[in-house]
Structures are given as C-alpha cells and as structure tokens.
Amino acid sequence: MTRYWLVRHGPTHAKAMIGWTDLPADLSDTVALARLTSHLPSEAPVVSSDLSRAIATADALGPRPRLAHDSALREIHFGRWEGRGFAEVEAETPSLIRAFWETPGDIRPPGGESWNDLTARTWGALDRLHSQGPDLIVVAHFGPILAALQRAGGLTAIQAFGHRIDNLSVTCLTLDPPKVHTVNHRP
C-alpha cells in the first residue's frame, strides 16, 4: 500500500484555462511552503509533472529523494482553449464548453483531452508509481489530483469536480485499498 501525498503546484495567477501551457509558479509565499514541507513525510520520494510550475514546487520542498518528472501527471490538455478564458470560449462554442464541464467524460476541447483521457493517464501513472515506498509525494495539478480523488473515493466525475483543490494544498489518499484521508488540506 502506498499513501499518495498529492500537492498542487504553486499559483500561476493565470485567469484562463492553463493545461499544458508551461507557466511558472509563484513560490514567494515562503511561510506556506515551509508549513507544507514540514507537513509532508520527510523520507518520502517526490515525483512531479514535467511542467515547470510543478517541478519548481517540488524543488521548493527541500532535499528529498527525487524521481524523474512524469508527463502523465500533467494537467488536462485544453487544446485550442489553452490560454483562453471561459467567457471567450463560451461565446464561440457555448454548448461544447458547457458539456465539457457539466458532463465530464468523453467530451474533448478541439485538439485537447477529455476527462476520461486525463483519468486514464493519471491512473496509469499512479499505478506505475505505487511501488516507490509506503509514502510518495506527487506534485501535480488540479485535474490529476481530482482524478486520483475520483478513483480513491469511488466518486463520479461530477462528484470529484465538487471538490476544491487550492494551490499548495495536500490531498492524501491510498488506492489499494481505496481510501481518502484528506482533501485540500492547507498546512
């Protein structure tokens, strides 16, 4: 059994749909980072998405064993919606963007991923990583953290979407057996 300590990267301050766009994290809140670092298991290895905001956040957690960055832990790919605001996309394709958020599953943004694509990718990564120890710190994004929560909690996608996942928060869970320990904890 591996306990996953899922950490959402530091804020980007973007007011748009940012998935695979590689924006840096604002890690200036050193007090929050210190609390986060002390809350996490000190000997647990760290793996992060390969996007710079996750890598920099993982680096800020101090000297810990590191695993190779994993592109399967990236945020959902918004395709042609990347970098655009909800209102802008809704003005062009109102039914598509509403369906994407209100009935997550197989609906994809043009050139992007569906919720089911993201969950398959995330679940595959977590299954590959389960042998890394009793505890594993995963620095990732809103979507992959919700996908892990959906699986561990036996939730529907809509139920998972009802959870808030703040920047620099911790969601702790196991997949075997499936159990959610904490969601969106801000140490």
Share of the chain above pLDDT 90, in %: 97
What kind of fold does domain 3-185 have according to CATH?
Rossmann fold (3.40.50)
DSSP conformation class of 117:
H
Q: What is the chain's alpha carbon radius of gyration, rounded to the nearest angstrom?
A: 16
Beta-ladder partners of 47: 138
Average pLDDT for residues 10-37, to the nearest whole number?
A: 96
Residue 133 in this model has a pLDDT that exceeds 90: no
For residues 80 and 112, the answer to whether their CB atoms sit within 8 Å is: yes
Distance from C-alpha of 5 to C-alpha of 8, rounded to nearest angstrom: 10
User: Which tokens in the block code for residue 82?
Assistant: 């990347």
Quick one: pLDDT at residue 18? 96
Active-site positions?
Answer: 9, 75
Residues 62-119: pLDDT tens digits?
999 999 999 999 999 999 999 999 999 999 999 999 999 999 999 999 999 999 999 9
> Mean pLDDT of all residues in the chain?
97
Distance from C-alpha of 121 to C-alpha of 12, rounded to nearest angstrom: 23
The residue type found at 168 is L
Quick one: pLDDT at residue 19? 96
